Amino acid sequence: MSSKGFLEVINNSNVDKEFKSIAEKVYNSERITNAEGLLLYEKADLGYLAVLANHIREKLHGNKTFFNRNFHIEPTNICIYTCNFCSYSRLLKEKEDGWELTKEQMMETVRSYDGKPVTEVHIVGGVHPKMNLDFFCDLIQQIKAHRPDLHVKAFTAVELYYMFKKAHLSVEEGMKKLKESGMDSIPGGGAEIFDAEIRNQICPDKCSSDEWLEIHKTAHLLGIPSNVTILYGHIEKYHHRIEHMDRIRSLQDETKGFNTYIPLKFRNMDNDMSNVPEVNTLEDLRNYAVSRIYMDNVPHLKAYWPMIGRSTAQLSLAYGVDDLDGTINDSTKIYTMAGAEEQTPSLSTKQLVELIKQVGRTPIERDTVYNVLEDYSDYDFSKEEGAGILN
């Protein structure tokens, strides 16, 4: 199906020369340039983008749409930083609205999943001035002692940067300590926009782009895989998105450590950027498609469905996305507090599988690093009844 669509794009006399040339490159698995990426953002027809992005998606993953079963722990929303787009964090002095979990409380959350088929815990939160590297190494050790096979995906580069600095350790030394404690991978948050000028306007005081990239590079060189995000649809221009992806693509050429690119749509409720309008669904789809076409060396493109809503998540699967995140009991508050589409972002595995099947894709449960665990095309959910299935 995608080859036929392609030949139509390449041979159609109504398609401009430059778009035919980009289509030929994609067809031949060649990399597109920054100028071509920008042209796609600015001028390409959405239908054309869908054909190209879907071709790449199906070449890489066929009809598979991945999901994993994880749960979140948010140790605190107290944060020393003041990112203008953040609706979630509280300064230490605004403690009434804030939370700080003890290790025991977090272990209670871990234990509440005993016997349930989760494979990953995602730990991320604000940058608390008192929760330090030793505190988190100890937490991870306790999690691993309790459930050794649970994959620990923990801490954005922003949290890591602060932890290492406070401990007077180099990035490599700090990362080795966390790895020895049981940290398996790093989530993609905190990347925002790498352009220094825009970054300075939306999150002036947290780690710089170079520092963010150095942390991920060091992790990759130590064999720790990671994800990478972009916060899009606020004051940035298309060329900033291209430059952001260019830096990721270049680092990925060196390390091959990024598993997934995750575009995060800016939501404007209750933050210092509430005056900035949100982009529409067509823009979301354009962004997914251009991301898939440009980012030729990052294997997966993830849509975070609680942020964009279930229908857009379904549509995104035709615009390059092959992975849906936010499977079960997604208790993360960073989006709900920013006005995300889904205010109670909880979807049972069965519902997620239905969502994927409704648009003709094959639901595949994966582990964090994309090993296939189960094909859910004809899965019998009744066998999970009474086995502590979530939701």
Q: Which does 264 bind (CB under 5 to 8 A by kind): ligand V47, ligand SF4, none?
A: ligand V47
Instruction: Write down the least CB distance from residue 134 to ligand V47, Å.
Output: 24
Among ligand SF4, ligand V47, none, partner that 65 touches (CB below 5 to 8 angstroms by kind): none
Stretch that binds ligand V47, among 8-16, 226-234, 293-301, 383-391 (CB under 6 A): 226-234
User: Is the CB of residue 76 less than 8 Å from the CB of residue 333?
Assistant: no
From ligand SF4, ligand V47, none, which one binds at residue 338 (CB under 5 to 8 Å depending on kind)? ligand V47
In the complex, which residue's CB is closest to ligand V47?
A: 189
**Could you say which of 22, 51, 73, 127 contacts ligand SF4 (CB under 6 A)?**
127
The residues in 102-161 that bind ligand V47, with binding defined as CB under 6 A, are 156
Q: How many residues bind ligand SF4 (CB under 6 A)?
A: 12
User: Residues 177, 267, 292, 366: which binds ligand V47 (CB under 6 A)?
Assistant: 267
Q: Is 305 in the site for ligand V47 (CB under 6 A)?
A: no
When the beta carbons of 56 and 79 are compared against ligand V47, the nearer one is 79
| Binding track, positions 158-197, relative to ligand V47; x by CB under 6 A | -----------------------------xxxx-x-----
CA angle, residues 157, 158, 159, in degrees to nearest 5 = 90
Q: How far is the CB of 76 from ligand SF4 (least distance, A)?
A: 9
Interface with ligand SF4 by CB under 6 A: which range of 51-59, 76-84, 336-344, 347-355? 76-84
Q: Which two tokens stand for residue 113?
A: 């999943």
Sheet architecture: strand order including 120-123: 70-73, 120-123, 151-154
Question: What's the burial of 11, exposed, middle or buried (CB within 10 Å: 0-12/13-18/19+)?
Answer: exposed
CB 390 within 8 A of CB 348: yes
Angle at the Cα of 162 (from 156 to 164), degrees rounded to 5?
100
CA distance 133 to 138: 9
User: Nearest approach, Cβ of 245 to ligand V47 (angstroms)?
Assistant: 15
For residues 194 to 223, the per-residue mask of contacts with ligand SF4, x marking binding by CB under 6 A and - elsewhere, is ---------x--x-----------------
| By the rule CB under 6 A, 79 interacts with ligand SF4 | yes
Q: Which of 38, 73, 78, 334 binds ligand V47 (CB under 6 A)?
A: 334
Taking the CB of residue 8, how many other CB atoms lie within 10 A of it?
A: 13
304: contact with ligand V47 by CB under 6 A: yes
Tell whether residue 83 is a contact of ligand SF4 (CB under 6 A).
Answer: yes
Q: Which does 206 bind (CB under 5 to 8 A by kind): ligand V47, ligand SF4, none?
A: ligand SF4
Q: Report the residue number, 55 or 292, with the smaller CB distance to ligand V47.
A: 292
Q: Which is closer to ligand V47, CB of 87 or CB of 327?
A: 87
Is there binding between residue 271 and ligand V47 (CB under 6 A)? yes
Looking at the Cβ atoms of 82 and 141, the one nearer to ligand SF4 is 82
Q: Closest CB to ligand V47 among 55 and 300?
A: 300
Q: Could you tell which of ligand SF4, ligand V47, none binds residue 61, using a CB distance below 5 to 8 A set by kind?
A: none
**Size of interface with ligand V47, in residues (CB under 6 A):** 21
The bridge status of strand 226-232 relative to strand 151-154 is unpaired
Token reading at 26: 């994609």
Residues making contact with ligand SF4 (CB under 6 A): 79, 81-83, 86, 88-89, 126-127, 158, 203, 206
Residues making contact with ligand V47 (CB under 6 A): 85-87, 156, 187-190, 192, 227, 229, 231, 262, 264, 266-267, 271, 304, 325, 334, 338
